[in-house]
Structure 1
Amino acid sequence: MIRSGHTDTFARDNLPPQDQWPEFLFTLPELQYPDRLNCVTEFVDKWVTSGQGDRTAIVSPNETLTYAQLAERINRIANVLTRDLGFVPGNRVLLRSANNPTMIAAYLAVMKAGGVTVATMPLLRAKELSYTVKKAKIKLALCDRKLGDEMEKTKALAPELERAVYWGEGGELEALMNKPGYENFTACDTAIDDVCLIAFTSGTTGEPKGTMHFHRDMLAPCDSYGKYVLQASPDDRFIGSAPLAFTFGLGGHVLFPFRIGATTIQLEKLTPDELLPAIEKYKATVVFTAPTAYRAVTPHVGKHDISSLRKCVSAGEALPKATFEAWKKATGITILDGIGGTEMMHIFIGSPEGQVRGGSTGQPVPGYVAKVVDDNYNEVPRGTIGRLAVKGPTGCRYLDDPRQTKYVQHGWNFPGDTYVQDADGYFWYQARSDDMIISSGYNIAGPEVEEVLLAHPAVAECGVVGAPDPERGHIVKAYIVLRAGHSGDAALTKTLQDYVKNTVAPYKYPRAIEYVASLPRTQTGKLQRFELRKIAEADAEKMAS
C-alpha cells in the first residue's frame, strides 16, 4: 500500500489481510489515479480553482450554496476539527443528521482533513449508534441539534465517544466555524488508498458490518457508472430519497453531481408522498430512489408537473418489471435499474438508457466484470441459475469482521445474489441467495412470486419467504399489505393464489398468505426477509406444538 497520510493508523491497521481482499481492476483510463490524492479536491475544490466556483452546488429549503460557498463551509469545519477539537488525520468522526447542506459539508470536511467519515441514519437509536461507536473506536461526533437526544444517550452507552459537537439552533459548531482565518484549509496529503469512509451495512441479514472505502473509491463509481451509464450533465439537478449515510444516497446526492459540477437538492424529509411535489418545485432532472417509491408515486404522476425530469435511477432492491413498465407508461422515462451494495460502494451492474431491458438488471458497468457461478466457483452456462460474482475498481473490505471471507472468495466479490445471465450478457435477478425457497425439490425465487403479487390491484406491498413444512420441507408463504378497500379474507386468498398459478409455474404459488399492516424494513427501505423468515419459523413451531 502507498504511504498513508494518517497519523491515527486505526483504519489501515484494521483492514482485512490483503490475501482476503478481492482482486481490483483499473481497466479504464479514467480509473488511473495518482498515488496521492484527497478526493474532496476533485469533488469541490477544483470547481473553485478553475473559476467555476459560482456554479450552484446545493439547493435546500433554507439556503442555496455555490461551490465556492460550500468549499468555505468545508474548510471552516475542517479547521474546527484540527484546531479546536483535537482531531488528527485518521480519526473517525461520527455524523448524525438528516440530509442537509451542513451534513454534506461535514461529510467532506472530515475527509479533507484526512479523517474517516462514519455517517449514520437519522432514525437510529442510541443502542445502534453505540455499536457503531464501539466498532469504529470513535471519539468525536458532529450532530444536528435536532437529533441530540439519542446522541447524548449514546455517550452514556459508549464511553469511547468523548465529545459530541452540535450544529443548528445556535450550536457550538457554528460558533467555532465563525472564527477569523478559518475560511481556508489545505487538504490533507492523503494516499489514494487511505480509508476515508466507513459505511455500515443496513442490516438486512443481521448485525451491521463496517465497509471500508478509500479516497479512490469515492471517485471510481463516478468515473465508471456515472460516466458510462448515468451520463448526467453539469446542468442537471439531482434529487433522491436515500439518506446520505447510505452509499446509494451518497452517490446520488453528492458524488455523481459534484464530480461533474452539477447541483444537488437537499430535503430533510422526502417520503414517496413528497417526491413528486419536490421534483416539480425544484425542477429536478435526475432522481435516485427505491422501487417501492416508484411504485407508490406512479398513480399520482398526472397530478404534478414533472416535465423537468429526464433520468430515473433505481437500486436498493430488485425493480419489478411491473413497476418498470407502469413508470414508463406514466412518464415516458426508462428507469435505470442497477445492483450495487455498501461493500461495492455503488452500482456495478446496470445499463445506460438505450440498452435497458425491462426486468433485467442490465450488463456490467464499464470497469467491472461479473459472472454467474456454481457452488464450486465454476461459471455456469448462460441461462442457468447460480451465484453472482463480481470484481472491479471497488470491492469489499470489512472492518475487523470474519465475514470478509464469506463475501470475498477466490478474488471475487459475492454479494449474495442469485442470478441468470442470458445469451446477450444481460443479468436477470432471481433472489438473494438465502431467499431461494426449496419446496418439494423445486427451487423457487421469493422475489419472483412477490413481483407477480405486486401486479395484482389488491396488493400494496408483499414479502415472500419459505415457511417450514413437515411434508414439503418449506412452502411459499406471502406476507401481504393490502390496498385500501380490500379485505384479507379467504376469498381474496384464493383469488391471489389462482392469480399466481395463472401467471407463473403453479408450483410457485403461495400455499400460505398472511395479511399484515406493514412489512419489516431497514432504515433505507429494504425489505428484511430474514425477519419474515423468523416469524414464519416461529409460527411453524407453534403449530407443531
Structure 2
Amino acid sequence: FLDEWTAVKNYGGKTLIYGGGAESDIFIAASKFTGAHQPCDTASDDVSLLAFTSGSTGLPKATMHFHRDILTIAETFAKEILQPNETDIFAGSPPIAFTFGLGALVIFPFWAGATSLMLEAAAPPILLKEIATHGVTVLFTAPTAYRAILPLLDETPIPTLRRCVSAGEHLPKSTWEAWHAATGIKIIDGIGATEMLHIFISAADDEIIPGMTGRVVTGFTAKIFDEDFNELPRGEPGLLAVNGPTGCRYLNDARQSNYVKNGWNFTGDIFIQHENDYFQYQSRSDDMIISSGYNVAAPEVENALLTHQAVIESAVVGLPDEERGMIVTAYVVLRPGFIASDELKKELQDHVKSTIVPFKYPRLLHFVETLPKTTTGKLQRFRLKD
C-alpha cells in the first residue's frame, strides 16, 4: 500500500503511517508531540470515514459517511433489532475495515457499553473456540461460517451465546434451520450495504420468518421497482430500492449515478416484497440466470444443493450457452468423507430437481476445493463466470 501511495502525484499533504516504527509512524509522532492537542471542530454532517466496498462485483468504491451516520446505525438496527446490553461480549469474523465488522465489533458494543473481543484471525474453528473461552454472547459472521461451525458444536458447546447475526451474503434457509436445530438460536438475517453503512432490512426473535430477510428497520423505506422505475406490486420480483437516514455518497466516482436514482438507493439486489411487508431475497440483479426463457435465481439452487448431506458450500452462476442462452452451472465444495464422482454429480442434480423444480437444476456441476470470496466472506461469482 505504501508503494502505491508514494506513487501518487500532486499530493501536498502530510502522510502518517500506522505502525512500523519509522519517523512517519503516527505513534512515534504522537509520543514526540509536546504541545496541547486541539480537538478538530466537526459537525454532524462532516465526513467521518471512508468505507470501501468489498469488491465482490469488481473494482471497490470509496463511500463517504458522516458523523451522524455512525450514531444512526446504532439507533436503528442495534436498538430495534439487536438490542444489546452492557453485559454482552461481541465477537465475529468480519474485519473492522468493512462496515459490517465496524458496526458489529466497534460501534454497537461501544454504543451499548458492552465488550468486544478482537481476534487476529477468525476462521470458524478458532472463532468457535474463542466464543467458548470468553463467553461470547453476540456473534456476527457469514453463513458459510455458521455451516462450518455446526459439526464442531458437540465437542465445543457455546451456552453463553444468545444473539447471532448473518449478513454480507445471502443466508440460506437450510443454514438457518440447521443452526436453530443445533443451538436453539434464531439467526438474525439482514441486508445492508457499505453504501448504506449497515443493515436496513431485518427481523429478530419471533418476528423472524425463515427464508425471509425481514422488514425495513424503523427510519428506512424500501420498495421494489422494475428497470423502468415503475413500482411493482407485492409478490413480484424486482430491483430493491431504499432510502432513509443514511445513503450512498461515492468519493469522486461516476458509478454514483448507477446506485442513486430519483432519490432512491438501488442496491443491485432482486427481492420480492410480500403482503405482510416482509422482503425475500432472490439474487443479485446480475446473478439472475435466464435459461431457455426461464428465470432461475442462483441462491435458490444453492440452497437446494446445501440441503444435501454431501455439500458444505455451493455457488451457482449462469454461463453462456448457444442453445439455452445461459446454462445453470454449479460449483460444489464437498464435506470431508465424500468423494467427487460422476455418480455423486448425478445424485446432486437429481436432488435439486426433486427439491425445487426440474428446469432449475444445474446442467453443469463442478467439484472444487474452495470458492472465491472477498476478505469479508462474500462470494465472488464474477470470478466463476470468468
**TM score, norm. by length of structure 1:** 0.68
Query: How big is the shift at 1:156?
Result: 5.0
Name which of structure 1's ranges 154-163 and 392-401 shifts more when overlaid on structure 2: 154-163
1:123-134 to structure 2, matched below 5 A, reads: 126=1
Partner residue, 1:470: 322
Partner residue, 2:197: 345
Distance 1:415 1:333, change over 3 A: same
Give, in whole Å, the separation in 1 of the partners of 2:360 and 2:284.
Answer: 17
Name which of structure 1's ranges 296-305 and 508-517 shifts more when overlaid on structure 2: 296-305
Partner residue, 2:382: 530
Q: CA RMSD in A?
A: 1.9
Letter in 2 for 1:402: A
Residue number among 197, 202, 209 corresponding to 1:357 in the alignment = 209
1:40-439 to structure 2, matched below 5 A, reads: 126=1, 151=2, 153-158=3-8, 160=11, 163-167=15-19, 172-179=25-32, 185=37, 187-439=39-291
Contact 1:155/1:162, CA 8 A, preserved across alignment: no
1:241-298 Cα distance to aligned partner (Å, 9 max, x none): 1101110000001111111211111111111111111111111111111111111101
Residue number among 333, 352, 368 corresponding to 1:516 in the alignment = 368
Query: How big is the shift at 1:176?
Result: 3.9
Give, in whole Å, the separation in 2 of the partners of 1:387 and 1:175.
Answer: 50
Give, in whole Å, the separation in 2 of the partners of 1:234 and 1:326.
Answer: 29
1:476-525 Cα distance to aligned partner (Å, 9 max, x none): 00011222222222111110110000000111000001112221111111
SS in 2 for 1:249: helix
Letter in 1 for 2:4: T
SS in 1 for 2:194: coil
Give, in whole Å, the separation in 2 of the partners of 1:274 and 1:358.
Answer: 28
Give, in whole Å, the separation in 1 of the partners of 2:378 and 2:99.
Answer: 14
Contact 2:16/2:26, CA 8 A, preserved across alignment: no
Structure 1: 5+ residue stretches without partners: 1-125, 127-150, 535-545
Give, in whole Å, the separation in 1 of the partners of 2:336 and 2:325.
Answer: 35
Give, in whole Å, the separation in 2 of the partners of 1:155 and 1:407.
Answer: 28
Where is the helix percentage greater, Structure 1 or Structure 2? 1
Give, in whole Å, the separation in 2 of the partners of 1:454 and 1:248.
Answer: 25
Query: How big is the shift at 1:168?
Result: 6.7
Partner residue, 1:63: none
Distance 1:223 1:166, change over 3 A: closer
SS in 2 for 1:302: coil
**TM score, norm. by length of structure 2:** 0.95
Contact 2:61/2:253, CA 8 A, preserved across alignment: yes
Letter in 2 for 1:253: L
1:110-166 Cα distance to aligned partner (Å, 9 max, x none): xxxxxxxxxxxxxxxx4xxxxxxxxxxxxxxxxxxxxxxxx4x33454455964534
Name which of structure 1's ranges 310-319 and 455-464 shifts more when overlaid on structure 2: 455-464
1:334-386 Cα distance to aligned partner (Å, 9 max, x none): 10000001000000000122201111100001111111122222221211111
Query: How big is the shift at 1:196?
Result: 1.2
Query: How big is the shift at 1:312?
Result: 0.6
1:409-463 Cα distance to aligned partner (Å, 9 max, x none): 1111100000111111111100001000000110000111011111111112111
Query: How big is the shift at 1:329?
Result: 0.9
Query: How big is the shift at 1:180?
Result: 7.7
Contact 1:468/1:475, CA 8 A, preserved across alignment: yes
4+ residue segments displaced more than 6 Å: 168-171
SS in 1 for 2:222: strand
Letter in 2 for 1:315: A
Give, in whole Å, the separation in 2 of the partners of 1:168 and 1:238.
Answer: 29
Query: How big is the shift at 1:173?
Result: 4.1
Give, in whole Å, the separation in 2 of the partners of 1:168 and 1:272.
Answer: 30
Contact 2:319/2:326, CA 8 A, preserved across alignment: yes
Letter in 1 for 2:183: T
Contact 2:138/2:164, CA 8 A, preserved across alignment: yes
Identity among equivalent pairs (%): 54
Distance 1:166 1:371, change over 3 A: closer
Structure whose CA Rg is larger: 1
SS in 2 for 1:416: strand
SS in 2 for 1:502: helix
SS in 2 for 1:221: helix
Give, in whole Å, the separation in 2 of the partners of 1:180 and 1:394.
Answer: 37
Distance 1:480 1:410, change over 3 A: same
Give, in whole Å, the separation in 1 of the partners of 2:371 and 2:302.
Answer: 13
Partner residue, 1:537: none
Distance 1:179 1:261, change over 3 A: farther
